[in-house]
Amino acid sequence: MIGSLRGKLAWRGADGDLLVEVGGIGYRVSVPGRTAVALGAVGSDVFLHVHTHVREDAIVLYGFAHDEERRCFEALLGAHGVGPALALSVLSSLSPAALSAAVLEDDAETLCAVPGIGRKTAARLLIDLKSRLDVPERSAADAGAGSARAEARAALAELGYAPEEIRRALEGRREDVGVEELLKLALRDLAGR
């Protein structure tokens, strides 16, 4: 099984595929958009953490700039109904930290913002990923903060804001504030954009 590749970036495809040349052999690797952007230009040295996916008809390599992304990819693959294409889509849209935060906060809206994920899949992912991503259990205070965040998220959705706008507006907000304060801060932020 291939665990990593270090070599020259020989080719970059439009669909997220790369060709990494290692010792005269070219390895075709599929990467999330976030990793594709982080890599240098064609001809530059690259290092990728690799997940080797073996199917009946093919062996496919998936590459990641950081090992944490590879671990998230493998956790996503272990979730019911998630294949490599959807797992790559999730990691193209969300960083491992953002994915963990969404799971911790039961934030289905953030997952629904990922192309290919609907409400049912998001709800199932939240359940499946809690144990797979080693998300810490929430205390009662954290659960209260999470419910305040969930209420603010629902209120902003009712006002017509898109899930991605809501996620950005609530990102980085203190956990110990109430719904009203979260809404006030988020609306101020959204009005400034």
Structural domains of the chain, with CATH: 4-64 (2.40.50.140), 67-132 (1.10.150.20), 140-192 (1.10.8)
Token pair belonging to 79: 């979730």
Token pair belonging to 138: 């929430």
Checking DSSP bridges between strand 45-54 and strand 4-12, what pairing results, if any?
antiparallel
| Amino acid identity, position 106 | D
- Higher-confidence residue of 77 and 188: namely 77
d(C-alpha 93, C-alpha 139), whole Å: 28
Structural contact between residues 182 and 188, judged by C-beta atoms closer than 8 angstroms: no
Lowest-confidence segment of 53-57, 97-101, 152-156 by average pLDDT: 152-156
Binned at pLDDT 50, 70 and 90, residue 169 comes out as confident
Helix, strand and coil percent figures for the chain, each rounded to 5: 50, 20, 30
66 φ, ψ (degrees, to nearest 5): -130, 145
